[in-house]
Structure 1
Amino acid sequence: MDMVGVTRRSSTRVAVLAIGLVLISGMSSLSRSGPSESATAAETAPTSAAATATAPTPTCPRPKLTSTRATGGTTQFGWLLQPGPSTTQQRDWLQYNVTAGTVICDSVTLTNSSRRAVSVQLYAADAYNIAADGGFAFTAFHQRTRGVGTWITLPITKVTVASGRAVTIPIVVRVPATVTPGDTAGGVVARETRVRHGQKVSGVDVGVRAGVGVRLYANVAGVRRPELSLTDLELHLRGGLLSRFLGSSTAIVTYRVGNAGNVRLSPTSGGKVTTRTRTIGLPEHEFAELLPGSPRIAVEDSVHGLRWGSLIGRVRVEVTVTADGAEAVTMEKSVWRVPWLSLIALAAAIALIATVLVVRRRRHRVTGDVAKDAEDAEELDPVAS
């Protein structure tokens, strides 16, 4: 959610209105659910064959809105944006197999199941993966587009839909002549014009500007190059002062997974941490969809229970990333542990034992010398008669 702060001043207080944009992948089969649930449903839906919305033509019909009775699913906002009607199949998203210069005439449908009219502003967006968790996201309203968002033309950008109605809105997709082969993604986003006010938090009036998006996937003909990337592998041993005597209790493993090719991938990552005494597996991570060119996804895992095996010697981590159609990538990293405090304590103990032995030996020698002197003295003294 992109938050924008707007400050309003009055004579008695200052209220801050936070305006957010929630992007949802439109799906015709959605029931009443929140934006995150909608996005997840779209990600886990099976990939369908590329839709042929309308045969590619040099020009598209004159744009017009088509209104029908609202049917099907909705979202928590009471309205939903989804792909327009197709004569061939029901679609969860817009998907095309294209070549350079292709022109596609298609549509999206905004369904208003709420009890009031809904006014939205439409815009074309690029798609990317969120670096924190790999989630699918659209670029924000005022953000400049550089990919599929530049291919999409919206003849109509502002629409008001009455309660209980659905409006089909035309779109035009023009593939550039200089496009490169591979998979790319973007979408059409409907952004509600009004702000929905929520609860006050610490005197701040928080509101949300709802937005719902329809994904658009384009598979550009040409050489396909699936390639994974695995970078920035790090291993840190934790455990505080006690770890210097008993070994680290926890290992922190961090790395980044990316898509270095030109094909959408759904990779899985995993690995293991190995000490002198044991091997512990890392959690497995599944990424629903990594888009080419998106930021690399950060992963952090914690491994517990190392202890004695990590006290001295080498602790090694190995991470592997795999995906259907792509070559697996593996990285390794080692950390050598020298338990300085343990060695110092051991040296101190040895020194103490040596000191005790030396002192005892000296005492024994002194005692022996005294006894011998006493015996010699008795031999020299005359015996009284």
Structure 2
Amino acid sequence: MRLPIAIATVVLGMAPQPAIPSPIPTPTNHGAPPSAPAPVTWGVAPSSPRGPNGRAVFAYKLDPGATLTDYVAVTNHSAHPVTLNVYASDAVTTSQGGFDLLPATQQPVDVGSWVSLTARTVTIPATSRVEVPFTVTVPANATPGDHVGGVVASLATTTTDAQGNRVAIDHRVGTRVYLRVTGELRPALALEDVRIRHRGSVNPFGGGEVTATATVRNTGNVRLAGRPAADVAGPLGLGAGTVSGVALPEILPGNAVRTTVRLSAVPPLFRLAVTTTVTPTPVDGQLLDPYPGATSRRMSVWAVPWSQLLLAVLVAGAVRAFVAIRRRRRRRAARNLEQAVAAAREQGRAEVATTAVGATAETQRVTTVGAGTGQSPDAAPAASATAPEAEA
């Protein structure tokens, strides 16, 4: 029965592999429960015929058609013998920027296929080391530039997953191989699948966030790192700003990583122009000639100030309500004043009418008294004055 194969664990150019369960069964002791499996640890390093020589990686610069012989030291740090598979493979850059090798079941087509080991399986005694020779043969038609891979020693084990299935796991420890084939170098990075997104803020007095996400691909033939950045500006250059993203790790030729640059406190100016840039940088202090230039992509994104518009609507509504209330109060005050003036006029008219009526009544009373004596009030004294003269 074939077992499902899990993704292998690869550690390249590092310390010995941490302890894992040994595939060697541990016998029971007089019916007692089996003890825990003895740990297995091993390490892989560049070597000479007499042992490791201090190199961290295999680094070569060869012409097409060249051949060389080198050694890899495989050390068993365990207290019992261990049998390991030793082979070479091509390297890849993961989408997160990690360094990995092709799965053991996948045949290499680049530098991994150029490495020939004298032995594919080695049995190493307890706490011992073996030096395994290998040959690197560069094809005559090899393309110039960097070809990256690794030499690994692996131990296959089986385990049971949560569903009870038997799973084969390939534990691998290795060291990197950097091989540069002489010829014209073309260092270059490119931006692919650039996506710009704006997210507004509920705070009308704060800016939103613009994220620029892109795939950075090494389109040249030299391994490169990089520094991403993003610029943003509104109409007429308003609200311009720039920010640098996290430095990119080593990207192997033909491989790519996904990166994101975030710009915060960006004012929502309806339409924003966002320029995403990546600047190539060398790795391991290597000199690049010619030095690659930066590459950019310019895109636009809508940044509607919804919270600001809502605030403006609320403020406009409040102002309109305030003006309406003031107008109603003024109209009410004007009506009250008109009513008071009208009431005062009516009261004045009533008082004038009352006065006129009283004067008319008095006049009528006086006229009535004069009519009873046959004389007017002014004629009576004259009659009295002339009476003595008549007697004389």
**TM-score after normalising by structure 1:** 0.68
Question: Percent of pairs identical after alignment?
Answer: 28
Task: For 1:73-112, list aligned pairs within 5 A.
Answer: 78-85=41-48, 90-112=54-76
Measured in 2, the distance between the counterparts of 1:178 and 1:250 equals 50
Measured in 2, the distance between the counterparts of 1:178 and 1:218 equals 15
What is the aligned counterpart of 1:229 among 190, 193, 199?
190
Is 1:254 aligned to residue 254 of structure 2?
A: no
Q: Is the 8 A contact 1:310 1:337 kept in 2?
A: no
Structure 2 residue identity aligned to 1:210: H
What is the aligned counterpart of 1:218 among 171, 174, 179?
179
Structure 1 residue identity aligned to 2:314: A
Residue 135 of structure 1, CA deviation: 1.6
Query: 1:285 maps to what in 2?
Result: 247
Counterpart of 1:188 in 2: which secondary structure?
strand
Q: Is the 8 A contact 1:155 1:171 kept in 2?
A: yes
Q: Is the 8 A contact 2:17 2:42 kept in 1?
A: no
Q: Is the 8 A contact 1:125 1:187 kept in 2?
A: yes
Is 1:338 aligned to residue 305 of structure 2?
A: yes
Structure 2 residue identity aligned to 1:128: V
Structure 2 residue identity aligned to 1:21: A
Is 1:265 aligned to residue 212 of structure 2?
A: no
Residue 81 of structure 1, CA deviation: 1.8
Query: 1:145 maps to what in 2?
Result: 108
Structure 2 residue identity aligned to 1:110: V
Measured in 2, the distance between the counterparts of 1:273 and 1:118 equals 58
Counterpart of 1:84 in 2: which secondary structure?
strand
Describe the superposition over 1:316-335 as per-residue Cα deviations: whole angstroms up to 9, x where unpaired.
65554331432123445554
Is 1:353 aligned to residue 322 of structure 2?
A: yes
Equivalent pairs, count? 318
What is the aligned counterpart of 1:327 among 262, 271, 293?
293
Query: 1:310 maps to what in 2?
Result: 267
Structure 2 residue identity aligned to 1:293: G
Describe the superposition over 1:134-170 as per-residue Cα deviations: whole angstroms up to 9, x where unpaired.
1211111112433222323344212211112222223
Describe the superposition over 1:98-144 as per-residue Cα deviations: whole angstroms up to 9, x where unpaired.
23333333332211121121211233311111111x12111111124
Q: Is the 8 A contact 1:138 1:187 kept in 2?
A: yes
Counterpart of 2:48 in 1: which secondary structure?
coil
User: Which range moves more in the overlay, 311-320 or 371-380?
Assistant: 311-320
Q: Is the 8 A contact 1:83 1:93 kept in 2?
A: yes
310 and 204 in structure 1: CA distance in 2 versus 1, 3 angstrom threshold: farther
Measured in 1, the distance between the counterparts of 2:18 and 2:262 equals 31
Q: Is the 8 A contact 2:91 2:102 kept in 1?
A: yes
Task: For 1:1-385, list aligned pairs within 5 A.
Answer: 19-26=6-13, 30=15, 78-85=41-48, 90-132=54-96, 134-195=97-158, 209-238=170-199, 242-243=202-203, 245-248=204-207, 250-271=209-230, 279=241, 281-287=243-249, 289-294=250-255, 296-302=256-262, 306=265, 310-312=267-269, 319-322=276-279, 323-324=281-282, 325-331=291-297, 333=299, 335=301, 336-339=303-306, 340-381=309-350, 382-385=352-355
State the Cα RMSD in Å. Answer: 3.7
Q: Is the 8 A contact 1:20 1:207 kept in 2?
A: no
Measured in 2, the distance between the counterparts of 1:101 and 1:184 equals 14
Query: Unaligned 5+ residue runs, structure 1?
Result: 8-17, 36-75
338 and 185 in structure 1: CA distance in 2 versus 1, 3 angstrom threshold: same
**TM-score after normalising by structure 2:** 0.67
Q: Is the 8 A contact 1:273 1:281 kept in 2?
A: no
Describe the superposition over 1:318-370 as per-residue Cα deviations: whole angstroms up to 9, x where unpaired.
55433143212344555433333233323323432343244334324433443
Measured in 2, the distance between the counterparts of 1:111 and 1:249 equals 55
Query: Unaligned 5+ residue runs, structure 2?
Result: 20-38, 283-290, 356-392
Structure 2 residue identity aligned to 1:285: A
Describe the superposition over 1:28-49 as per-residue Cα deviations: whole angstroms up to 9, x where unpaired.
xx4x5769xxxxxxxxxxxxxx
Q: Is the 8 A contact 1:152 1:173 kept in 2?
A: yes
Residue 257 of structure 1, CA deviation: 2.6
Counterpart of 2:293 in 1: which secondary structure?
strand
